[in-house]
Copies of this chain bind each other. A is one copy, B any other.
Amino acid sequence: MPSGRIRNTAFASKVMSADDAVKYIQPDDTVAISGFASAGTPKVMIPALAEKIRGARATGSNFTINLLTGASVSTETERLLTEVDGIALRMPYQSESTARKRINDGRMDYVDIHLSHVAQQVWVGYYGQVDVAVVEVSGITESGELIPAASIGNNKTWLDVAKKVILEVNSWIPEAVEGMHDIYYGTALPPDRKPIPLTRVQDRIGQPTFRIDPAKVVAVVETNCRDSASPVTPPDAISEAIAGHVLEFFDYEVRNGRLPADTLLPLQAGIGNVANAVLGGLDRGPYKGLTCYSEVIQDSMLRLIKDGTVAHASSTALALSESGIEELTANVDFYRNHITLRPQEISNHPEVVRRLGVIAMNGMLEADIYGNVNSTHVMGTKIMNGIGGSGDFARNGYVSLFMSPSTAKGGAISSIVPMTPHVDHTEHDCQVIVTEQGLADLRGMSPRRRAREIIEKCAHPEFRPMLNDYFTRADAMPSAGQTPHILGEAFSFHQRFMDTGSMR
C-alpha cells in the first residue's frame, strides 16, 4: 500500500522490499548511511543487511562492510551489525556498548574524526569509493528531489558521492516537516571554494530538499517506523550546580561587556544531562530571543522555543525523548519556523562557527591541571564514544567551556588529574572548565596560574590536596619549565585506579 510519499513515478517504479534491496550491498562494500544521534537512521535496511551477513557467515563466507555515518546512529543499528561481526571499519563516531566493546577489543577499526572534516575527507577519497548510500527520507517530491527526515548529518555528501543509492521513505515522519531543512549546495573542493553566506543562525542559504541523480537510485523501500528516542533523565543536583555556574558566567560576561545582554551569542551544547541542565536553566535567566547553533536539538530546546527564550535553533539532528518526539510531531507547524536542520558540514563548519561567535559548551571525561581535555579515552586507552563535533566548536568558538562532574564512579575517579593520558583538546582550546565545585576562568593565564585556578575552583575537595601536592612538587623540580610535571608520577592517579579501583 503506497504511502503517497513518493510523488515521482520514476522512483515509484523502484519500490521493493528491504529483503530485495539488500542484494545491492556486497561484501567489502563501503556503505554510508543516514543517521545522527538517535534520529534518521534507516529502519529496515540494516536489519535486512545484518540478516544477510548472518546467512553468509552460516555458509562459512566472510562478509564485512565499512560503515560511514553522520555520527552515532540508533543503538539497534550499531548492535545488529556488530553482533554479526559485520563492520570492518567504522567512522566517524559511535556511542553504543557492543560496538564500543568490539572496538576496544581491537576487533573493529574505528576512525575518530572531527565531524566537520568528514564530508571533505570522503570527497577527497580518504575512505575510497562509497559503494552504497542508504538514506532515510520523509518523501520524494514530484520533481524527484528528496525531503529529509529527522536528521541530515552527511546525507547530502552520501547522496552525492555514492555509486548506488537505496532510499527508505518513512511515512511516520509528519509531512509538515517539509521546509525545516536547509541543504546548502555551495560547498566544493579547493581551489573552488567560496564563502559560506551564513551570517545569522536563522539564515537559509540552501534549499529544503536533497538533489539526487535518479539513475543512481537502485531501490526505494517504504517504511512507517518511529524514530529512536534519546534517553533523557531529569537533571540531578550535580548537573544543576554545573548549570548554575555556567549561567553565572554568562551574567558576568554580560556585565563586563563581553557578551550582548538578552541574546548572548549563539549557544552550542553537546548531548547529555549536563548540557540539558544548562539549556534548561536559561529560561530562569533574563534572556529572550537566544539562538543556538549546535549539532543536536534536545528536549529542553523545545520548551525554550515554546516560551520564547530561544528564537531560533540550528542543528543537524533532532535527538528527542519519546515525549519530545510527541511534542514536536504535534506542533511541527510551529517548530518549523524556529528550527533549521543543516548538513553537519555546515552545522559544524569552522568558518561559520568562528563567524557566529558560538559559545561552545562540551562535556569531557577529564581535564588536567593545565586545561588539556580528554573527551574520549577512559584511562587513556579505551574509547568511550568519540570526539564528535566538540573540537569544531571548541577551537573556533568565541569562548570554549568544558564541563563535567568533579568525580565519577561514586567518587573513586577525579575528573581533574595531573595529566590526561589522552588529549582531544589542548589547553589552547579550553578557556573555561566547570564542575559542580566551581568555574575556572583560564583566559589569559599561563600554565602555572591555570593549575592553581583549576585545582582551587574545579577539583573535588577530596582530591584537591593530592593535586596541590603534585603541582607543588612538580613546580619545585629543576626541570619544572613552563608546564611543571613529574613524568614518573603524571599518571599516578590513573595507575592507582587501575591497581585499586580508586584514584584516592
Contacts and interface: CB of A to CB of B under 8 A. Distances in A.
Interface of A: 89, 91, 103-104, 106, 109-114, 117, 120-121, 124-128, 189-191, 193-197, 199-200, 256-258, 260, 263, 265, 349-351, 354-357, 372, 377-383, 387, 391, 395-396, 398, 419, 421-426, 428, 443-446, 448-449, 474-475, 477, 479-485, 487-488, 490-491, 494-495, 498
Residue picked from A193, A378, A424, A444, most chain B C-beta under 10 Å? A444
B357 A482 contact: no
Given A190-B398, A381-B479, A423-B423, A125 B258 contact: yes
A381 B482 contact: yes
Interface of A is mostly: loop
A292 to B, nearest CB: 14
Contacts of A419: 421
A482 B350 contact: no
Contact of A351 (B128, B350, B423, B444): B350
Contacts of A377: 481-483
A143 to B, nearest CB: 30
A82 to B, nearest CB: 15
Contact of A89 (B109, B127, B446, B474): B446
Contact of A424 (B195, B426, B481): B426
A425 B425 CA distance: 9
Which 10 residue pairs of A and B lie closest in terms of their CB atoms, listed nearest first?
A190-B357, A381-B481, A382-B481, A195-B195, A383-B482, A423-B423, A109-B446, A351-B351, A126-B444, A487-B491
B448 A106 contact: yes
A378 B89 CA distance: 36
A257 to B, nearest CB: 8
B350 A193 contact: no
13 contacts: A104-B481, A121-B444, A124-B398, A126-B443, A191-B356, A195-B351, A351-B351, A379-B487, A381-B474, A383-B482, A421-B485, A424-B426, A487-B494
B199 A197 contact: no
Nearest to A479: B381
A199 B194 contact: yes
Contact of A488 (B356, B481, B495): B495
A395 B350 contact: yes
A109 to B, nearest CB: 4
A498 B479 contact: yes
Contact of A195 (B126, B191, B199): B199
A449 to B, nearest CB: 7
Given A110-B482, A379-B479, A387-B428, A357 B193 contact: yes
Nearest to A120: B398
A193 B356 contact: yes
B121 A381 contact: no
Contact of A106 (B114, B117, B480): B480
Nearest to A350: B350
Nearest to A488: B495
Contacts of A383: 481-483
Contact of A260 (B125, B191, B426, B495): B191
Given A356-B191, A381-B484, A421 B121 contact: no
A483 B112 CA distance: 11
A109 B449 contact: yes
A195 B193 CA distance: 13
Contacts of A424: 426, 428
Contacts of A381: 474, 477, 479-485
Contacts of A445: 109, 111
A169 to B, nearest CB: 32
Contacts of A422: 483
A372 B104 CA distance: 19
A372 B426 CA distance: 11
Nearest to A444: B126
Contacts of A351: 195, 350-351, 354-355
A425 B372 CA distance: 11
Contacts of A111: 444-446
Nearest to A125: B258
A357 B121 CA distance: 12
Nearest to A487: B491
A383 B143 CA distance: 61
A298 to B, nearest CB: 24
Nearest to A123: B258
Contacts of A350: 350-351, 354, 395-396
B481 A355 contact: no
A348 B32 CA distance: 34
A428 B481 contact: no
A65 B256 CA distance: 24
Contacts of A190: 265, 355-357, 398
